[in-house]
C-alpha cells in the first residue's frame, strides 16, 4: 500500500512539474480552467442551461486511489435573497494538528489553487489531512494549512500565480464529535407554503424524536418534488422562483421543480421551522472513476445537502432532500442517509472580495496564537484539571480526554420512557445481586419517646404520660435493622463481543441513529454502571471481595480484535480503552468466531488462575459472554462450535441480535433497538444465573 501511494504521489508530482513548466513558458495561455472558483457561494444549477461538452470534465480536485460518495467542502451561514445564493460566515482560524489516521486507507488529494485564495478542501466525512505529507510547487513558507472554527480544513498559499498541491488524506481512527455547530440563517425567502406548514405541524403533534422528525420532513419534501436542471424549462422555472424574494419558498412548493440546491434550501428552511438545528452544506458527490482510476470533483458533480444537529450523539447528521432523477447522485446511498446518521463538521471560508492579504492572514494567526497563550496562562479550572488528570492516567491527549468525559456525562443522563436515568436503574439492578445475599435482623432499641419510636412496646408507661398531659409519651420501641452480607457470591466476568462491521453504519430502526453510535453509547452506559456499582458496593461494605466484576472487550470487524483484556479495573486507562474501541469506524464483515477465540484465551487464563488460588466452587465467578451484532456472523457454523466449546468449560453464552433474528441456540429474544440493550442484558445476566446457580442468586 505504501509503495502504491508513493508511486501515485510521484506521478502527481511529475504532472505538477510539467504543468508548472508549461505555465511559466506560456504565461499568456489560459490553462486554468480547472481552478476552483474564488467565490465559494452556493448557487442553483437551474439558473442557466448547461451545455454538454465532449470528453471528461476538468478536475478541480482529484483523489487517488478512487474513493466515492459525499465529499463535504463548505457549510453556509445565510441565504441571500438578493442573489438567491448561500453565503458563508466570517473565518475563524484554529491550529491544524496532526491527527491519528487510519493509514491503510490513505488517498492522495491533489489540485490547483490561485495565490492568495483561501480554499476549502473537500473531504469525505470523518477524514482528515495528513499535515506531515503535504507537497506543493510553491515555497513552503508561503503555505498555510489550517482549520476553521468548525474544525474543517482550509488551504492558502501566498504570492501571485497558480500553484499545485497534493496531500495525503485518510479516515480518522476515531470519529470526531462535539464540535461547534453553526446553524444556517433561513429568515430570508419569505414564509413556507401553507400546505408544508400544516404538514410540519402534523408531524410535530406525533411527538417524534428530533431526528425522526427531521428525517420525516426531509423525506416528505423529497417525495413531493421533481428533479429539474440544465434545461430551458428549469431556467424558466427559476425565473419564476426569483421574481419576488418574499415568495421564494411558496413558489417552489407551487411549481414542485428542484435541483439539489433548491430542494435542500427548502428543506433547511422547513427543518428550522420545526425547531431543528440545521444548516445548508455543499461539496461534491463522486459516483464513478475517471480513466485514470481517480475520484474527480468538477463543476458537473458539485452537490448541496443539509445537516441537522443530533443532541444524542453530539454530531451533525447528513440529510439529502434532492428529488429522484439527479444523474450524479447515488439514490440508494441518498435514501440510506435519510434513515441513517453521518458525521461531519461545518466549513466556513471567504468570498473573493473578502480574501485576506498575506499580512492580514499572518496577523490573524498571530492573534489566535496570542489568545491561546493567554488562555494557557489563566488559572486552570476544575474541569481542566479533571481533563488533564484523566489524559495523564489514560495515556491519551487532552482533547481525547475531553471527548470521553463529555460523552460519559451525556450517557449518564440518558433517561428511559418514565424519565428515570438508565444509569441509576442499572446500578439498582446490580445492587439486587448484592442484596440477595443480605440477611436483616431486628435489634431492640427502647424505650423511647413516641416521635422516635416505631411501635408501642409499653402501654402502661405511655398511658401514664398521656394522663399527665405529656404530648410526646414514652413507652415506644425503635427497631434498628442490621444487615449481614454473605460473601459466597464470587462475582461476574462479562466478555463482550461487539459488532463493528460495515452494516453497523446502517440506521437503528427505533432511534434513527447509526447502530455503531448507539452501540458505543449503550456499551459505555452498561459497563460504567456495572463498574460504578462494584465500586460503591466495595466502599459501602468495606469488603474488597464483594461483587468483584471483570470485563473484556473484543470487536468483530474486518478481523477479530481484543481491545480490553479481562480486568476488574475501571481507571481512566480502561475507560479510554473501552470507549476508543467502540468509537472506531465500522467496516468489514462480522467474524464473530474470531472474537470468541480471543475470549476463550482470556477465559482459560482466568480459570487457570482461579484453580491456582484454590478458590472453592461456591466462590467461583459467573462467566458470561455477551455476543452482540445486527445480523448473522460470517461463519455461523464456526461461531456455534465456539459457543459449544465455551459452554463446555462453564461459560454462559448469549447471542443478542439487534433489529433482526438469530438462528443460534443461544439466541436471546430479538431486540428492536440497540438502545434497549442495557436493561435487557442486565436482566438476562441475572435470569441466566438463576438457572445455573439457584442457591447463589435467588
Q: Express each pLDDT in 106-141 by its tens digit.
A: 899 999 999 988 899 999 988 999 988 888 888 888
Question: What pLDDT, in 10s, does the model give residues 467-501?
Answer: 776 777 777 777 665 544 444 456 788 899 988 88
The confidence band for 697, taking pLDDT boundaries of 50, 70 and 90, is very low
Q: Are 438 and 483 in contact (CB under 8 A)?
A: yes
Question: What pLDDT, in 10s, does the model give residues 423-434?
Answer: 776 666 666 655
Higher pLDDT among residues 581 and 373, named by residue? 581
Asked if residue 440 has pLDDT above 70, the reply is no
Asked if residue 698 has pLDDT above 90, the reply is no
Asked, as a colleague might, if the bond just before 523 is cis with ω within 30 of 0, I would say: no
Cα separation, 682 vs 684, whole angstroms: 5
Cα separation, 504 vs 517, whole angstroms: 9
Q: Are 387 and 380 in contact (CB under 8 A)?
A: no
Cα separation, 418 vs 178, whole angstroms: 27
Listed residue (125, 149, 141, 161) closest to 20, CA to CA: 161
Q: What is the mean pLDDT of residues 555-575?
A: 85
Helix (H), strand (E) at residue 382: helix 382-394
pLDDT at 101 (0 to 100): 83
Q: Are 303 and 329 in contact (CB under 8 A)?
A: yes
Query: Domains plus CATH for the chain?
Result: 2-35+60-176 (no CATH), 194-293+300-337 (3.10.620.30), 438-485 (no CATH), 492-692 (3.40.50.410)
pLDDT at 628 (0 to 100): 87
Cα separation, 479 vs 450, whole angstroms: 13
Q: What angle do CA 389, 390, 396 make, to 5 degrees?
A: 115
Asked if residue 684 has pLDDT above 90, the reply is no
Asked if residue 292 has pLDDT above 50, the reply is yes
| Helical H segments across 436-546, by residue range | 459-467, 515-541
Torsion sign over Cα 248, 252, 255, 261: positive
pLDDT at 526 (0 to 100): 80
Asked if residue 298 has pLDDT above 60, the reply is yes
- Distance (Å) of CA 600 to CA 23, 629, 645, 657: 64, 19, 9, 21
pLDDT at 507 (0 to 100): 79
Cell numbers at residue 602, please?
482470556
pLDDT at 446 (0 to 100): 62
pTM reported for the whole predicted model: 0.57
Question: What pLDDT, in 10s, does the model give residues 57-71?
Answer: 788 999 998 999 999
pLDDT at 19 (0 to 100): 52
**Size of the chain, expressed as the number of residues it contains:** 698
Asked if residue 441 has pLDDT above 60, the reply is no
pLDDT at 103 (0 to 100): 81
Cα separation, 45 vs 41, whole angstroms: 13
Most confident region among 453-457, 536-540, 604-608 by mean pLDDT: 604-608
Torsion sign over Cα 336, 338, 340, 342: positive
Which residues does 215 contact at the CB level (< 8 Å), separation at least 6? 319, 338, 339, 512
Measured in whole angstroms, how far is the alpha carbon of residue 546 from the centre of its chain?
36
Question: What pLDDT, in 10s, does the model give residues 625-680?
Answer: 988 888 888 899 999 999 999 999 989 898 888 777 788 898 887 777 766 776 67
pLDDT at 240 (0 to 100): 93
Torsion sign over Cα 38, 41, 42, 44: negative
7-16, 64-73, 152-161, 354-363: the lowest-pLDDT one: 354-363
Asked if residue 415 has pLDDT above 80, the reply is no
Asked if residue 243 has pLDDT above 90, the reply is yes
Cα separation, 90 vs 93, whole angstroms: 10
Higher pLDDT among residues 392 and 176, named by residue? 392
Most confident region among 252-256, 457-461, 586-590, 675-679 by mean pLDDT: 252-256
Question: What pLDDT, in 10s, does the model give residues 150-167?
Answer: 777 889 998 888 999 999
Asked if residue 622 has pLDDT above 70, the reply is yes
**What is the percent of the chain with per-residue pLDDT over 90, rounded to a whole number?**
27
- Judged by phi (left if over 0) then psi (alpha if -120 to 50, else beta), residue 47 lies in alpha
Helix (H), strand (E) at residue 642: helix 636-648
User: Looking at the DSSP assignment, which residues form a beta bridge with residue 304?
Assistant: 282
pLDDT at 24 (0 to 100): 44
Asked if residue 6 has pLDDT above 50, the reply is yes
Q: What is the mean pLDDT of residues 540-567?
A: 74
Q: Are 677 and 496 in contact (CB under 8 A)?
A: no
Amino acid at each position: 500500500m505504501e509503495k502504491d501511494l508513493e508511486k501515485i504521489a510521484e506521478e502527481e508530482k511529475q504532472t505538477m512539474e510539467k504543468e508548472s513548466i508549461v505555465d511559466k513558458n506560456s504565461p499568456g495561455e489560459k490553462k486554468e480552467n480547472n481552478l476552483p472558483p474564488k467565490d465559494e457561494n452556493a448557487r442553483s444549477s437551474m439558473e442557466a442551461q448547461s451545455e454538454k461538452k465532449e470528453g471528461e470534465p476538468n478536475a478541480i480536485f482529484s483523489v487517488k486511489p478512487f474513493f466515492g460518495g459525499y465529499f463535504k467542502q463548505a457549510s453556509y451561514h445565510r441565504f441571500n435573497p438578493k442573489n438567491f445564493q448561500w453565503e458563508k460566515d466570517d473565518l475563524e482560524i484554529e491550529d491544524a494538528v496532526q491527527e491519528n489516521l487510519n493509514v491503510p486507507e490513505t488517498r492522495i488529494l491533489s489540485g490547483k489553487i490561485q495565490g492568495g485564495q483561501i480554499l476549502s478542501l473537500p473531504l469525505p466525512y470523518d477524514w482528515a489531512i495528513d499535515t506531515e505529507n503535504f507537497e506543493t510547487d510553491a515555497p513552503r513558507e508561503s503555505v498555510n494549512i489550517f482549520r476553521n472554527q468548525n474544525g474543517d480544513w482550509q488551504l492558502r498559499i501566498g504570492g501571485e500565480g497558480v500553484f499545485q498541491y497534493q496531500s495525503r488524506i485518510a479516515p480518522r481512527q476515531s470519529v470526531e464529535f462535539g464540535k461547534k455547530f453553526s446553524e444556517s440563517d433561513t429568515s430570508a425567502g419569505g414564509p413556507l407554503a401553507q400546505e408544508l406548514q400544516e404538514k410540519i405541524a402534523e408531524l410535530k403533534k406525533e411527538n417524534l424524536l428530533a431526528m425522526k422528525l427531521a428525517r420525516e420532513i426531509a423525506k416528505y419534501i423529497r417525495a413531493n418534488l421533481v428533479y429539474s436542471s440544465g434545461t430551458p424549462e428549469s431556467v424558466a422555472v427559476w425565473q419564476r422562483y426569483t421574481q419576488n424574494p418574499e415568495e421564494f419558498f411558496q413558489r417552489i412548493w407551487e411549481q414542485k421543480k428542484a435541483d439539489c440546491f433548491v430542494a435542500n434550501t427548502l428543506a433547511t428552511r422547513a427543518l428550522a421551522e420545526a425547531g431543528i438545528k440545521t444548516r445548508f452544506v455543499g461539496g461534491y458527490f463522486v459516483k464513478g472513476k475517471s480513466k485514470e482510476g481517480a475520484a474527480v470533483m468538477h463543476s458537473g458533480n458539485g452537490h448541496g445537502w443539509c445537516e441537522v444537529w443530533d443532541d444524542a450523539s453530539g454530531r451533525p447528521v447528513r440529510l439529502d432532500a434532492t428529488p429522484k432523477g439527479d444523474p450524479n447522485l447515488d439514490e440508494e446511498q441518498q435514501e440510506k442517509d435519510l434513515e441513517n446518521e453521518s458525521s461531519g463538521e461545518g466549513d466556513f471560508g471567504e468570498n473573493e472580495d473578502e480574501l485576506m492579504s498575506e499580512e492580514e492572514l499572518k496577523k490573524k494567526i498571530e492573534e489566535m496564537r496570542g489568545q491561546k497563550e493567554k488562555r494557557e496562562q489563566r488559572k486552570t479550572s476544575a474541569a481542566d484539571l479533571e481533563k488533564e488528570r484523566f489524559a495523564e492516567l489514560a495515556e491519551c491527549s487532552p482533547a481525547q480526554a475531553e471527548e470521553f468525559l463529555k460523552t460519559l456525562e451525556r450517557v449518564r443522563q440518558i433517561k428511559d420512557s418514565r424519565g428515570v436515568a438508565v444509569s441509576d436503574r442499572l446500578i439498582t439492578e446490580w445492587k439486587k445481586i448484592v442484596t440477595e445475599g443480605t440477611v436483616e435482623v431486628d435489634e431492640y432499641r427502647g424505650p423511647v419517646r413516641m416521635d422516635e419510636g416505631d411501635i408501642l412496646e409499653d402501654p402502661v408507661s405511655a398511658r401514664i404520660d398521656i394522663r399527665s398531659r405529656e404530648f410526646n409519651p414514652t413507652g415506644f420501641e425503635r427497631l434498628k435493622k442490621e444487615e449481614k452480607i454473605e460473601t459466597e457470591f464470587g462475582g461476574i466476568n462479562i466478555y463482550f463481543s461487539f459488532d463493528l462491521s460495515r452494516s453497523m453504519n446502517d440506521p437503528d430502526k427505533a432511534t434513527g441513529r447509526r447502530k455503531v453510535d448507539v452501540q458505543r453509547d449503550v456499551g459505555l452506559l452498561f459497563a460504567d454502571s456495572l463498574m460504578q456499582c462494584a465500586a460503591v458496593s466495595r466502599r459501602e461494605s468495606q469488603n474488597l471481595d464483594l461483587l468483584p466484576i471483570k470485563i473484556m472487550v473484543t470487536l468483530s470487524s474486518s478481523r477479530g480484535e481484543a481491545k480490553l483484556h479481562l480486568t476488574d479495573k475501571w481507571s481512566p486507562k480502561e475507560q479510554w480503552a473501552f470507549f476508543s474501541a467502540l468509537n472506531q469506524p465500522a467496516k468489514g464483515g462480522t467474524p464473530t468466531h474470531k472474537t470468541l477465540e480471543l475470549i476463550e484465551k482470556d477465559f482459560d487464563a482466568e480459570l487457570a488462575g482461579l484453580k491456582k488460588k484454590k478458590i472453592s466452587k461456591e466462590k467461583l465467578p459467573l462467566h458470561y459472554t455477551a455476543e452482540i451484532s445486527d445480523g448473522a456472523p460470517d461463519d455461523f457454523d464456526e461461531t456455534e462450535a465456539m459457543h459449544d466449546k465455551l459452554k463446555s468449560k462453564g461459560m454462559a453464552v448469549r447471542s443478542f441480535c439487534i433489529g433482526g433474528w438469530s438462528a443460534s441456540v443461544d439466541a436471546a429474544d430479538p431486540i428492536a433497538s440497540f438502545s434497549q440493550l442495557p436493561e435487557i442484558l442486565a436482566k438476562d445476566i441475572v435470569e441466566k444465573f438463576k438457572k445455573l446457580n439457584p442457591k447463589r442468586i435467588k
